[in-house]
Amino acid sequence: MILKPNEIKIKVDGFLDLVRQRNGHEPEFLQAVEEVAETVIPYIIQNDIYHGKNILLRMVEPERAIMFRVNWVDDDGEIQVNRGYRVQMNSAIGPYKGGLRFHPSVNMSILKFLAFEQVFKNSLTTLPMGGGKGGSDFDPKGKSDNEIMRFCHAFMSELFRHIGPNTDVPAGDIGVGGREIGFLFGMYKKLQNEFTGVLTGKGMTWGGSLIRPEATGYGTVYFAEKMLQTKGDSIKGKTVCISGSGNVAQYAAEKIIQLGGKVITLSDSSGYILDSDGINKEKLAFVMDLKNNKRGRISAYVDTYTNAQFFANKTPWEQACDVAMPCATQNELSGSAAETLLKNGCTCVSEGANMPSTKAAVAIFQKARILFAPGKASNAGGVATSGLEMTQNSLRYNWSREEVDEKLKDIMGNIHDKCIAYGKDEKTGYIDYVKGANIAGFVKVADAMLAQGVV
C-alpha cells in the first residue's frame, strides 16, 4: 500500500492514541512504543503481509505480567515489604529473556518499557530469545550482604514458579550483579531441586560464561567502532564521556582504553567525575574496587586522584568529547544536553543503557546526522552473551574467553549490518540506526507471530 506522509501520520497517531488510552499512566512505556511505532508502522504499510493483523497492537500487550509481594526481615529484625514483578512480553521466537532490576524507581511502566525494548533487542541478536524484564522496588544501597541475600531468597521464593530454562531466563540489570544472581540461583535450585540454566550472569564455577560480565560494555564499544568505521574512523585517539560507573560503564571504559581512546568521565546518581588526564587501566581498577567491593560512591575518586574534579548532581554531557556513551539509566541525556554535546564537537553516541536519551535528544542527534545508536542495538551484546551462556549450559561445555569474545564481536557486527540494511538512506547515505534496529527487530518477531497464528 502506498500512502502519503500525512496519511501515514494519521495511522501512527491513531495507533498511539489507542496505546495511550490503555497505558496513559505509564510514561516510559509510551515513550518506548512511540519510538517504535513511528518507524515500524510506515514499514508495515509498505509490506502487505503485515496488514490487517494488528501485529504491533499484539506486540505492545505483554503476554503476561506478574506482580507479587516480597516479605523479608532486615538486620534489625523489622519486617520489610517490597513489590516484585516479571513482565513476560513476547515469546514468539524463544523463551522470555531479560534482566531483573532492583531500584526504588521500579514500577510497571519502567518494566514494560524495558521488556518491550528487549523483544526487539533479542530479535536483533539472531539468537532464539523472546523478551521479558522484571525486578523490584527494593533499594540495595546501604543494605548488608545478609539483607541482600534474604531479599533475593524471598524474591525467588515466588518468582521460581514463573520461570525455567525453557520458559523464562532472567539475568542482571541495575542493582543486580553477580552477588545477587548467586543468591537468586541458590534459592531457585533449592526449590526446584535441579541445577539448570535458569539465570544468566552466573559465576564461572557454577555455569557462567566467560565475557558475560564484560559483554554489554564491550559490545557497546564494538558497535561504536563499527559506526565510526562507516566514516573511515575509529575509537583510537578519541575522547570519550561515559556516564554510570556500574557494570556497563566499567567495561565500556575498559574496552575504550584497550582500543586507544581516552575516557574522561564516569558518574553515579550523586554526580560525575572529570579526569582530563584520562582514566587509565590502574584508575579504572580503583573504580571497580570502589564500586564492586567497597560499594562506595564515585565522588571518592577525587580523594585518590586529586587532579580530577567531582561535579555534584550533574551529568557528564557538559564536557567536550568526540564520543558519548550513556551507560547509567533511562532519560539521563536530555535535549539540552544533546545540544551541548553537539556544540562541543561530539559526533558519535553509542547507548550502553536502555533508552538513556530522551525523545528530544534523539531528534537532535538525528537532525544533526551524527552517528547515533539506540541501546536496543548497541547494548545487545549483554543479552547476546547471555544467549551464549544458555547454549553453553545446554552443551554442558565452556567456550574460551577468546571464543566468546569473537562471537560477541560477530553478533555486534551483524546487528550493525542489519541496521544498515533497514536504516540506510541510499540517496543521502545517512544510516538511521533507530529505524534500522526497530524494523530489523520487528520483522523476525512479526514473522514468527504470523506463522504461529492468533495465540
Contact residues toward ligand NDP (CB under 6 A) are 172-175, 177, 216, 244-249, 268-270, 327-329, 332, 352-354, 379, 382
Distance of CA 432 to CAs 70, 120, 180, 308, 411, Å?
43, 16, 37, 36, 19
- Residue 133 annotated among the catalytic residues of the structure: yes
Give phi and psi for 409, each to the nearest 5: -60, -45
Q: Tell the residue number behind the cell numbers 551507560, with chain if given.
A: 327
Distance of CA 328 to CAs 140, 172, 276, 295, 313, Å?
16, 14, 21, 16, 14
Separation of CA 130 from chain center: 15
Q: Among all residues, whose Cβ is closest to ligand NDP? A: 246
Considering beta carbons, is residue 35 or 268 the nearer one to ligand NDP? 268
Per-position DSSP letters for 24-59, written without gaps between them: TT-HHHHHHHHHHHHHHHHHHHH-GGGTTS-HHHHH
- In angstroms, what is the minimal distance from the CB of 177 to ligand NDP? 6
- In angstroms, what is the minimal distance from the CB of 428 to ligand NDP? 30
Considering beta carbons, is residue 319 or 354 the nearer one to ligand NDP? 354
- In angstroms, what is the minimal distance from the CB of 15 to ligand NDP? 26
Q: Which candidate in 112, 121, 133, 143 is catalytic? A: 133
Considering beta carbons, is residue 246 or 387 the nearer one to ligand NDP? 246
Phi-psi region of 263 (alpha: psi -120 to 50; beta: other; left: phi over 0): beta
- In angstroms, what is the minimal distance from the CB of 267 to ligand NDP? 6
Under 8 Å CB-to-CB from 165, ≥6 apart: which residues? Answer: 95, 196, 197, 198, 390, 393
For residue 452, the SS3 value is: helix
For residue 203, the SS3 value is: coil
The amino acid at 317: W
Longest CA–CA separation in the chain, Å: 67
Straight-line distance from the first to the last Cα atom of the chain, in angstroms, rounded to the nearest whole number: 27
For residue 264, the SS3 value is: strand
Considering beta carbons, is residue 54 or 304 the nearer one to ligand NDP? 304
Distance of CA 240 to CAs 249, 252, 306, 431, Å?
12, 10, 20, 22
Considering beta carbons, is residue 124 or 449 the nearer one to ligand NDP? 124
Considering beta carbons, is residue 125 or 157 the nearer one to ligand NDP? 125
Residues recognised as catalytic: 133
